[in-house]
Amino acid sequence: MNKLSLIIPTLLIISGCKSTDISRAVKDGINGAINGASSTTSQAIMPSSSITYTTTETTISTYKATKESRDFGNITLAKTTVNPTKQTRVIINQCIHPRVGAVKCEAYMHEISPEGWIVDSQNNKIHLEKRSRYNDKVVPAGNYYMKVKTEGVAKESYAVGDITIIPFVTNYVDITFE
């Protein structure tokens, strides 16, 4: 009984204030004290309930000029190279899915105003694809909010984040999906 009086308060302190956690901790503590006091049994302590956690799927509309609740994946400027026309160009260098490898992808870049707002205009979104090496676009330099989704993969994945396009060079963008 002395073990039991020490175990229950300790479990209550560790488990927090949630009532289901407290009742589960008390049941598990009592089971542990009973099993510990009984030296003839070799039973394992079984938790009183099994809790499972799930994640919700998020669908992102890449063509819409809306900010997502958080950034997904990783969008980085891999390198820049001088081009003969001295124009500001952007190209998707690679799209990588961590569990698949190199994949095709489709992206939209939405310009960010100097005040930090995403410019919502039909003429303002820039569509990019990674299908071959010759899919670069001439774009104005500046800050963009980029939304990318996989193509040709059974389960769509997304990458979302800000990117700064450097002027008068070709900007190569690497995308890693979440």
**pLDDT tens per residue across span 107-158:** 999 999 999 998 887 777 888 887 655 678 999 999 999 999 999 888 889 9
* Domain co-membership, 28 together with 79: no
- Answer whether residue 81 is part of any domain: yes
Q: What is the mean pLDDT of the chain?
A: 79
Q: Is the pLDDT of residue 100 over 90?
A: yes
- Answer whether residue 29 is part of any domain: yes
pLDDT band at 66 (very low <50, low <70, confident <90, very high): confident
- Answer whether residue 60 is part of any domain: no
| Total-model pTM | 0.65
- Answer whether residue 118 is part of any domain: yes
In whole angstroms, give the CA distance from residue 7 to residue 36. 12
In whole angstroms, give the CA distance from residue 102 to residue 110. 24
Query: Of the given ranges (22-36, 58-72, 95-109, 119-133), which has the lowest mean pLDDT?
Result: 22-36
Residue-number span of the structural domain to which 143 is assigned: 74-176
* Domain co-membership, 86 together with 164: yes
Number of domains the chain contains: 2
* Domain co-membership, 155 together with 83: yes
- Write the CB contacts of 63 (distance below 8 Å, at least 6 apart in sequence): 108, 125, 127, 147
- Answer whether residue 66 is part of any domain: no
Tell me what pLDDT residue 136 has: 85
* Domain co-membership, 81 together with 29: no
In whole angstroms, give the CA distance from residue 144 to residue 75. 11
- Answer whether residue 128 is part of any domain: yes
* Domain co-membership, 19 together with 107: no
- Answer whether residue 136 is part of any domain: yes
- Answer whether residue 145 is part of any domain: yes
* Domain co-membership, 89 together with 170: yes
